[in-house]
Amino acid sequence: MLILGVETSCDDTCAAVYRTDDAQVLSSVVSSQEAVHAKYGGIVPELASRRHLECILPVIEEALAQARIGVEQLEAVAVTTGPGLIGSLLIGLSAAKAIAYARSIPLVPIHHLQGHLLSPRLNHPDLPYPHLGLVVSGGHSALYRVDSPDRIRRIGETRDDAAGEAFDKVGKVLGLPYPGGPNIEKEARGWQGKRIRFPKPRFKTEGFQFSFSGLKTAATQYILERRESADPIDIAQVCFSFQETVIEILAEQSFGAMEAEGLQAMTVCGGVAANGTLREHFQKMAKKYRKCVFFAERKYCTDNAAMIAAAGAAQMMARNDSIGDFLGLNACAQVPLGS
């Protein structure tokens, strides 16, 4: 089966073609809006929807062209219906509906985080179930128990900011280009010296939660106080220390959750999972605790439509039910997964 994936939940316009017979991504096109939002230091929702509107059809056409297929060969369309920016989601959903309606093929609504959670399967097709899934992106930081592609239970999440959000904020205060994550990683590689001890959250309640707002505030204060007193700061040292602390918080909770749930394997996905130092740290921990860790391929860590198409295919296989009247289907800005 050939399935088209469409993803426009945030600031990237994405389309991909996935072939279920041999689990191959035939094309994955991402039109980034980084340049549109860079000067504002964050995403401007209205500008994001306008740009999606300009890009959605050329991006879908490019995905079909790269896959060397015509629209008439498509057998299903999978599309992100939430969570995300409502204006952005609606552009992708409308385009997906139009194609599915015109071609009389099924439309599969996909939760953005289900797409991320299944993204490591694109390069690890034999990944075992059940496993723990860590999603770390600009909008989310959460832990899931994944028993099958459509049996997913949330077992922990952030109480405040997402890890990527903290990376972006600290990057902005340091004057680094948007998004902060990859630029903080680059700067951190230049530091070999002493680490600044930023605080880590301590939770009184049971469970596996994250919190990044205290760390974000501590790092921001450190920078601003030194700037005011004209004390020199070393950007590389701040980036290194902040990044190490985020990674330790994520790893401690994730490996704790794996132990508590009796799981042997874990996946790590979402934009922050592209971080090379995070990947090295998790590999080391996995070796120490005799667990397996699988990462989404770097190009599938940040938002993309290949993960949405693959999730759509898995969903169709798992449920085998018809999608019904999809013209009435709506997008939803906030919708939990597996709570």
Question: Could you tell which of ligand KG4, Zn ion, none binds residue 161, using a CB distance below 5 to 8 A set by kind?
Answer: none
Question: Could you tell which of Zn ion, ligand KG4, none binds residue 141, using a CB distance below 5 to 8 A set by kind?
Answer: none
Q: How far is the CB of 52 from ligand KG4 (least distance, A)?
A: 15
Q: How many residues bind ligand KG4 (CB under 6 A)?
A: 19
Which residue from 7, 161, 185, 244 is in contact with ligand KG4, where contact means CB under 6 A?
185
Q: How far is the CB of 182 from ligand KG4 (least distance, A)?
A: 4
| Residue ranges in 269-328 that form contacts with Zn ion under rule CB under 5 A | 303
Q: What DSSP character marks residue 176?
A: P
Q: Closer CB to Zn ion, residue 185 or residue 303?
A: 303
Q: How far is the CB of 228 from ligand KG4 (least distance, A)?
A: 26
Give the residue ranges of DSSP H helices in the chain. Answer: 34-37, 45-66, 86-103, 112-118, 163-173, 180-188, 213-228, 235-261, 276-289, 306-319
Q: Closer CB to Zn ion, residue 238 or residue 273?
A: 273
Q: Of 35-43, 180-188, 228-236, 306-314, which segment contacts ligand KG4 by CB under 6 A?
A: 180-188
Q: Closer CB to ligand KG4, residue 137 or residue 211?
A: 137
What are the phi and psi torsion angles at 283 (to 5°)? Answer: -60, -45
- 180 near ligand KG4, judged by CB under 6 A: yes
User: Binding marks (x or -) toward ligand KG4, 251..290, rule CB under 6 A?
Assistant: -------------------xxx-xx---------------
Question: Could you tell which of Zn ion, ligand KG4, none binds residue 181, using a CB distance below 5 to 8 A set by kind?
Answer: ligand KG4
Answer whether 126's CB lies under 8 Å from 300's CB: no
Task: Using alpha carbons, select from 129, 108, 109, 107 the residue that is nearest to residue 118.
Answer: 129
User: Binding marks (x or -) toward ligand KG4, 132..171, rule CB under 6 A?
Assistant: -----xxx------------------------x--xx---
User: Binding marks (x or -) toward ligand KG4, 285..314, rule CB under 6 A?
Assistant: -----------------xx-----------
Q: Could you give the 3-state DSSP secondary structure of residue 209?
A: coil
Number of Cβ atoms within 10 Å of the Cβ of 238:
23
Question: Could you tell which of Zn ion, ligand KG4, none binds residue 82, using a CB distance below 5 to 8 A set by kind?
Answer: none
- 7 near Zn ion, judged by CB under 5 A: no
Angle of the 163-173 helix axis to the 213-228 helix axis, nearest 10: 10
Which residue from 137, 209, 241, 315 is in contact with Zn ion, where contact means CB under 5 A?
137
Rounded to an integer, what distance in angstroms lies between the CA atom of residue 186 and that of residue 169?
A: 16
Rounded to an integer, what distance in angstroms lies between the CA atom of residue 259 and that of residue 261?
A: 6
Q: Could you give the 3-state DSSP secondary structure of residue 161?
A: coil
- 8 near Zn ion, judged by CB under 5 A: no
Q: Closer CB to ligand KG4, residue 139 or residue 338?
A: 139
The CA-atom distances, in angstroms, between 27 and each of 60, 106, 121, 306, 320 are: 10, 20, 16, 8, 25
Residue 61 neighbours by CB under 8 Å, 6+ apart: none
Answer whether 6's CB lies under 8 Å from 60's CB: yes
Residues pairing with 80 in the sheet: 110
User: Binding marks (x or -) toward ligand KG4, 1..40, rule CB under 6 A?
Assistant: ---------x------------------------------
Instruction: Using the structure block, give the residue that is written with the tokens 């990947």.
Output: 279
Q: How far is the CB of 181 from Zn ion (least distance, A)?
A: 12
Task: Using alpha carbons, select from 312, 264, 274 the residue that is nearest to residue 295.
Answer: 274
Q: Which residues bind ligand KG4 (CB under 6 A)?
A: 10, 137-139, 164, 167-168, 179-182, 185, 270-272, 274-275, 302-303
